[in-house]
Amino acid sequence: MRVFGHAYLCDPYPGTVPIVGHHFLDGPKVDRSAMAIMITDECINCDVCEPECPNEAISQGAEIYEIDPNKCTECVGHYDEPQCVQVCPVDCIPKDPAHVESEEMLWVKYEKLTGNKRP
Ligand code: SF4
Ligand code: SF4
């Protein structure tokens, strides 16, 4: 069992992708390169990532910083790389397997959040 923040993820079957709950997705069917991202409990509350987010998706939670998956576009539309991942000193912002999103979905979210059209 692996613990990410407050979520308990189980991976009892080799070759599957663990997600929250009791359902498992076959690895090859999941695009791991396009997921929203999350902050794990390794966060040291250094405050560095929050001001870097162009979507104001990062906020202080009860114990550590959190990312709102409804606002995170992985920086699509703003930067080539997720800015919070770039600045985090302890590398505690991985992809979130509980929120699988394609790049197209991230662009749609960008348009909805900003009111701008995809270039
Ligand atoms: S990847 Fe970008 S949009 Fe998502 S939380 Fe990090 S800085 Fe914000
Ligand atoms: S940069 Fe990393 S360690 Fe610092 S507050 Fe953000 S997630 Fe936590």
> What CATH number is associated with residue 86?
3.30.70.20
Which domain covers residue 100, as residue numbers?
31-114
**Residue 74 alpha carbon, nearest atom of ligand 1:** 1
Decide: 5 and 41 in contact? Cβ < 8 Å: yes
Domain membership flag for residue 38: yes
Q: Point out the ligand nearest to the CA of residue 45.
A: 2
The span from the CA of 78 to the CA of 111, in Å, is: 11
Q: Can you give the pLDDT at residue 34? A: 54
Mean pLDDT by runs of 10 across the 119 residues of the chain is 36 36 35 70 98 97 95 95 97 90 94 94
Domain membership flag for residue 106: yes
Q: Can you give the pLDDT at residue 81? A: 95
Domain membership flag for residue 18: no
Domain membership flag for residue 57: yes
How would DSSP label each residue in 23-34? --EEGGGS-TTS
38 close to ligand 1 (CB < 6 Angstrom)? no
Q: How many domains does the chain have?
A: 1
Q: Can you give the pLDDT at residue 97? A: 85
Domain membership flag for residue 3: no
Domain membership flag for residue 21: no
Q: Can you give the pLDDT at residue 36? A: 76
Q: Can you give the pLDDT at residue 31? A: 41
Q: Can you give the pLDDT at residue 71? A: 94
Domain membership flag for residue 88: yes
User: What is the residue with the minimal CA distance to atom 1 of ligand 1?
Assistant: 74
